Amino acid sequence: MSGPVVPPAVVVIDDDYAIRLSCGKILTKMGLRAESFEDGARGLEGVAKLKPDMVVVDLKMPGISGMEVLSRVHEIDPQIVIVVITGYATIDTAVQAMKCGAYDFLPKPFSPDELRLIVNRGLERRRLGLESQRHEVERAMLTRRFVTFVAHQLRTPLVAVHQYLNVMKHLDQSPAKEHEWIARCLTRIEELQNLIADWLTLARVEGGAMLKERIRVDLGQTILDILKAYQETAAAERVSLEAGVAESSLYVLGDRNCLSVLFDNLITNAIKYNKPGGKVTVSGAVADGEVVIGVADTGVGIPEKYRPFLFDEFFRVKDESAKQTAGTGLGLHISKRIVSEMGGTIRVESQAGEGSVFWVRLPAAEDPAAGIGSQNDAGAETDSNGR
Partner 1 sequence: MPAKVLLIDDDSDFRAAVKSLLESHGYDVLEASSGHDGLRMVLEHKPDAILVDIMMETTVEGYGVTYALKYQDEYASFRNTPLFMISSIEESPDERFPMSAEVEMIRPDRYLTKPLDIPKFLGLLEKALGAAKGVVV
Shorter beta-carbon distance to partner 1: residue 194 or 221: 194
Q: How many CB atoms lie within 10 A of CB 342?
A: 22
162 or 228: whose CB is closer to partner 1? Answer: 162
Nearest residue (CB) to partner 1, 186 versus 229:
186
Q: How far is the CB of 192 from partner 1 (least distance, A)?
A: 12
Minimum distance, C-beta of residue 319 to partner 1, in the bound complex (Å): 8
Smallest distance from partner 1 to CB 301, Å? 19
* 101 close to 148: Cβ distance less than 8 angstroms: no
Q: How far is the CB of 176 from partner 1 (least distance, A)?
A: 13
Least distance from partner 1 to the Cβ atom of residue 171, Å:
5
Instruction: Rank residues 166 and 351 by Cβ distance to partner 1 and give the closer one.
Output: 166
List of residues contacting partner 1 (CB under 8 A): 148, 151-152, 155-156, 159-164, 166-167, 170-171, 173, 177, 181, 184, 188, 316, 318-320, 324
The smaller minimum CB distance to partner 1, of residues 175 and 386, is found at 175
Nearer to partner 1, 29 or 177 (CB): 177
Minimal distance, residue 172 CB to partner 1, in Å? 9
| Residue 79 beta carbon to partner 1: minimum distance, rounded to whole angstroms | 23
In the complex with partner 1, the residue whose CB is nearer, 99 or 152, is 152
